[in-house]
Amino acid sequence: MSVHPEGTGPVLDVRDVDLVRQGNYLLRSVSFTVEPGEHWALLGGNGAGKSTLLGLLGARTHPTRGTVEVLGHRLGKVDLRTLRTFVGHVDPRHPLTSPLRLRDVVLTGLTNTTEPVPRWQPTPEQVARADELIGMLGLATRRDARWPVLSQGERGRALIARALLPRPRLLLLDEPATGLDLAAREQLLTSLDALRREHPRLATVLVTHHLEELPASTSHALLLREGRVLAIGAAGEVLTSDNVTKTFDHPVRISREDGRWAARA
């Protein structure tokens, strides 16, 4: 399978997708397209289907009905494991237990493994690129620190550098700000804005419950409720008080200042 980093066409194309488990619709009639350079927010309450949808976008599961194309490859017609290696997936529940140095954690992005692969050695160019990403994510002074002593915010940014090392065209971020204090969250969002500026063709999909956790560079939004798309389109048009109230089934007022969103009940 060839997926060139500069490939053309949509990064994601989801058409009329249903996902059914034990007779329940976890996703119903979901359709959307993500183009290079777009930054999507995927919002919804608990159990709305966000993680289920992210599993499809990250080539981890198949739809029950409809089609999902990831980087031009239709799920069901390609080997999911191979396709997954072209998608950067940032999961804050990264299951690393050994006390690797931050830079070595980042380098495991190249082998797509949690632990380093025995006898595998990165090239000097790969190490230089890892250091460049570590610097871009504001972690240069923590490069040699070991995983257990890193703060949750530092780990989160290290995992973004790790996911970016193989130069994916698509980056999936699953609640990246969960558990971060205010300063760590702001550092993360600043890093994401910088990343998006420096990689103008990279597409991202960020899952969150909280509008405050959306970077100002968010371009599009998809609101999910009970497995269905409640609203979809340009972030500025979709993230309205009315839509977000319906999404969370709770009255909220949305405001936007300097590109960032806030919600108040």
The helix/strand/coil state of 263 is: strand
Burial 39-55 (b: 16+ CB within 10 A, else e): bbbbbbbeebbbebbbb
Per rule CB under 6 A, is residue 62 in the interface with ligand ATP?
Answer: no
Find the shortest distance in angstroms from Cβ 226 to ligand ATP.
9
The helix/strand/coil state of 132 is: helix
Per rule CB under 6 A, is residue 21 in the interface with ligand ATP?
Answer: yes
Query: In this structure, how many other beta carbons lie within 10 angstroms of the beta carbon of residue 105?
Result: 25
What distance in Å separates the CA atoms of residue 93 and residue 207, rounded to the nearest whole number?
A: 14
Span near ligand ATP by CB under 6 A; candidates 21-29, 102-110, 124-132, 165-173: 21-29
- Give the residue, chosen from 2, 8, 22, 141, that forms a contact with ligand ATP under the rule CB under 6 A: 22
Per CB under 6 A, which of residues 206..235 are in contact with ligand ATP? 209
Identity of the residue, 12 or 100, whose beta carbon is nearer to ligand ATP in the bound complex: 12
Beta bridge partners of 101: 146
What distance in Å separates the CA atoms of residue 34 and residue 38, rounded to the nearest whole number?
A: 6
- Give the residue, chosen from 3, 11, 26, 130, that forms a contact with ligand ATP under the rule CB under 6 A: 26
What distance in Å separates the CA atoms of residue 219 and residue 238, rounded to the nearest whole number?
A: 10
Closest by Cα among 246, 192, 255 to 219: 192
Closest by Cα among 77, 60, 54, 59 to 1: 77
Residue 75 tokens, joined = 């799920």
- Give the residue, chosen from 39, 50, 103, 169, that forms a contact with ligand ATP under the rule CB under 6 A: 50
Per rule CB under 6 A, is residue 89 in the interface with ligand ATP?
Answer: no
Identity of the residue, 103 or 225, whose beta carbon is nearer to ligand ATP in the bound complex: 225
Query: In this structure, how many other beta carbons lie within 10 angstroms of the beta carbon of residue 5?
Result: 12
Per rule CB under 6 A, is residue 48 in the interface with ligand ATP?
Answer: yes
C-beta of residue 102 within 8 angstroms of C-beta of residue 154 = yes
Over the window 151 to 190, marking each residue x when it contacts ligand ATP by CB under 6 A and - when it does not, the resulting string is ----------------------------------------
Per rule CB under 6 A, is residue 93 in the interface with ligand ATP?
Answer: no
Identity of the residue, 21 or 253, whose beta carbon is nearer to ligand ATP in the bound complex: 21
Span near ligand ATP by CB under 6 A; candidates 44-52, 85-93, 94-102, 243-251: 44-52
Per rule CB under 6 A, is residue 51 in the interface with ligand ATP?
Answer: yes
- Residues of the shown chain interacting with ligand ATP in the complex, contacts defined by CB under 6 A: 21-22, 24, 26, 44, 46-52, 209
